[in-house]
Structure 1
Amino acid sequence: MTLAASPARERVVRPKRPRHLSEAMRCETAFRLILSECLEEVATNHEALSSGDPTALHQTRIALTRLKAAIAFYGPMVADSEWTRLKSELKWLSAYLGATRDLDVAIENSKGLPEERMLMTARTDAFEALREALQSDRYWQWFDGMWDWVGSGPWTTRQDPRAAQRRAVPVSVFHARRLARWHGKLCHKSRGLQGMGKNKRHRVRLASKRLRYAIEFSEGGLPADVYASWRDVLKHLRKGQQLLGELNDDEVRRKLFESADALDQGADEGKAGHQRVHERKRKSQLLRRAAAIYRKIAE
């Protein structure tokens, strides 16, 4: 159960600052800049999100996904007990954001259909729960805790030689090595995409997002010719992520209808059967296109 934050409580306004990575920049500096950008995006969208704006919701989720990708990218350098606690709180927040966003997508894909009203009602309930979370002390403690952790968390003061070395590695060296590793892992995971189950396919989608954001983070931190080759990969990643996203949206929408017995209530058996045939055909087409994209990524 969450507690409502005091209406009189004033928030500290942190000025937005541009992110400029350079090849010689230390990894600890780059990490702080990237995470600050993500948190500033969350802060920028907070008021509109609390008012129910679907675009602000989408942008907040992207910012938090980018935040998690950056933390995973820098891995051992920033892993500590405080992040473990903050990660648990982020999971709590993401559950509310995800439930509302899933309904927004389902509503957009159901315009003019009988189930649209049912989805709108569910969205109202989900958003009320999200707004309560956004106005709670628990949320603000997490948000302020993230800023404190980025600036002065336990990871910043580890004195062992290996930890100090990780913080001091130049961006150009670390990013080149890390991007190559993540790219190799994605290529391995995406093999046989057309025959994958939804869980493995979901992991490919998550790995795609992370690599995409890692490449975007690396702009300015790699030599121009090196980054140019990653830009080609980025172009394919965006296409692949879109296709896998459409597959995921279809799956979420189908689950929402099944949980509400929407097919039984709003369609006869013949119509439902026709819908299943259409869904299988669409899934096959999307998977075929996605598999072709991921083959290009692996080239």
Structure 2
Amino acid sequence: MPSASVGTLVRQRLAELRDALRAAEAAARGGEESGVHDLRVAMRRLRSLLATFRPVLDPSVTEPVRTELEHALRELGQSRDAEVAVETVDRLLDDTGLDGLDGLDGLDEAVVGLRARLRLDASATGDDVVETLGSTRWAALVVLVEELVSHPPLTEKARGDARSVARKRVRREGRRVSDRVVAARGAAGPDELAARLHEVRTAARRLRYATETAAPLEDKRIHRIGSRAKAVQSTAGLHHDAVVTRATLRHLALDEAVGEGAAFLLGHLDADEQRALMLLEKEAWSAIEELEEQLRRL
């Protein structure tokens, strides 16, 4: 797309994301395993597009859409966090959680009880998905997205050269990542570091999405940045999942209803996850350094 306008690039991406949103909504309504995850990804991509290419689009039209997308993401986020907790604890129990605990009285009952408790919590959040997708607010959001694709509110800047503008927008998103990396390096303790790395992750994700919009331009430098941003998103995401899982384990351990055997097991799992967290932190920093190197070359 060497001579296309950036407006053409954005218009094309809007249509792609609208289609992805439709497909993911259908999957979520049908109860497919990855439906809610795919729906949230499609919404995040659309929200990021509207932010990254804000100069190309009339914000009086796009900002209300971004606000509604953010609300829907929050509503559906609780369900995803519960799913992550179930998946991670199941993995810990299957792979490493029972090592050295064979002699613990009531171990089998504790394991069964923990699995049942987590699935009960996940099932409760699943009701939120049905409620969100059945709401009039969601229906209004779908209409807004359809209108956005049918009549994109392009500004005069949409006439700009696609390659030139895309590079500028990718650089801008790269600076957002760099600012958050500086904050993470200055974190005072593990809790602040976890929060700062999560901010790096969200910024890297938005940078990655910006490179995806620019994909038709076949710009090798932008492509390499996208690959590195994806690696940061992935490793920092695993780190965040481990943080969320540890919080879930500690919350369950404080619940008197789980019983003494389950509480002991939860403490063992928490220690395993703490060790994994340290390794994931190193991997995240390695991925961040590789991304920084690519950003310096753009």
Shorter-chain TM range is: 0.7 to 0.9
Residue 50 (structure 1) aligned with residue 33 (structure 2): no
* C-alpha distance in 1 between matches for 2:58 and 2:223: 29
Secondary structure of 1:190's counterpart equals helix
Question: What's the secondary structure of 2:239's corresponding residue?
Answer: helix
Residues 289, 63 of structure 1: alpha-carbon distance in 2 compared, 3 angstrom cutoff: same
Contact 1:54 1:101 in 2 (8 A): no
Q: Match of 1:206?
A: 202
Change beyond 3 A, Cα 1:293–1:190: same
CA distance in 1, matches of 2:205, 2:33: 21
What are the superposed Cα offsets for residues 131-183 of structure 1, whole Å, 9 maximum, x if unpaired? 12212332122101122134336x34xxxxxx41x111111110112212322
Aligned AA (1:187): S
Which residue of the partner structure matches residue 286 of structure 2?
292
Pairs aligned (count): 266
Change (3 A) 1:279 1:217: same
Shift of the 256–39 alpha-carbon distance from structure 1 to 2, 3 Å rule, reads farther
Q: Which runs of 5+ in 2 are unaligned?
A: 94-110, 294-298
Contact 1:32–1:151, Cα closer than 8 Å, also in 2? no
In the TM superposition, residue 186 of structure 1 has moved relative to its aligned partner by 1.5
CA distance in 1, matches of 2:279, 2:197: 15
For residues 221 and 259 of structure 2, the distance between their equivalents in structure 1, rounded to whole angstroms, comes to 50
Query: 1:169 is matched with which residue: 142, 154, 160?
Result: 160
Choose which of 47, 69, 72 in structure 1 pairs with 2:51.
72
Quick one: distance in 1 between partners of 2:267 and 2:245? 17
Matched-pair contact (CA < 8 Å) for 1:190–1:204 = yes
Q: Gaps (5+ residues) in structure 1?
A: 1-21, 157-162
**Contact 2:243 2:277 (8 Å CA) reproduced:** no
Separation in structure 2 between the aligned mates of residue 245 and residue 118 of structure 1, nearest angstrom: 25
> Is 1:194–1:288's contact at 8 Å kept on the other side of the alignment?
no
Q: Secondary structure at the match of 2:169?
A: helix
Structure 2 counterpart of 1:251, which letter? V
Does the residue aligned with 2:216 lie in a helix, a strand or coil?
coil
Map 1:84-123 → 2, pairs under 5 A? 84-111=63-90, 113=111, 114-123=113-122
Q: TM-score, normalised by structure 1?
A: 0.79
Sort the Cα spacing of 1:47 and 1:182 in 2 relative to 1 into closer, same or farther, 3 A. Answer: closer
Corresponding residue SS for 1:54: coil
Pairs within 5 Å for 1:126-137 = 126-137=125-136
Amino acid in the other structure paired with 2:127: E
Find the aligned partners of 1:48 and 1:262 in 2 and give their Cα distance: 36
Q: 1:170 to 1:50 in 2, by over 3 A?
A: same
Which deviates the most, 28-37 or 270-279?
A: 270-279
Contact 1:186 1:204 in 2 (8 A): yes
The alpha carbon displacement at 1:53 in A equals 1.6
SS at 1:109 equivalent: helix
Q: CA deviation at 1:69?
A: 1.5
Structure number having the greater helix percentage: 2
Cα RMSD (Å): 2.5
Distance 1:237 1:43 in 2: 26
Match of 1:26 in 2: 5
Query: Contact 1:194–1:291 (CA<8 Å) still a contact in 2?
Result: no
Whether the 8 Å CA contact 1:38–1:67 is kept in 2: the answer is yes
Q: Cα 1:275–1:48, aligned 2, differ >3 Å: closer, same or farther?
A: closer
- Structure 2 residue aligned with 1:251: 243
Alignment of 1:129-168 (within 5 A): 129-152=128-151, 155-156=153-154, 163-164=155-156, 166-168=157-159
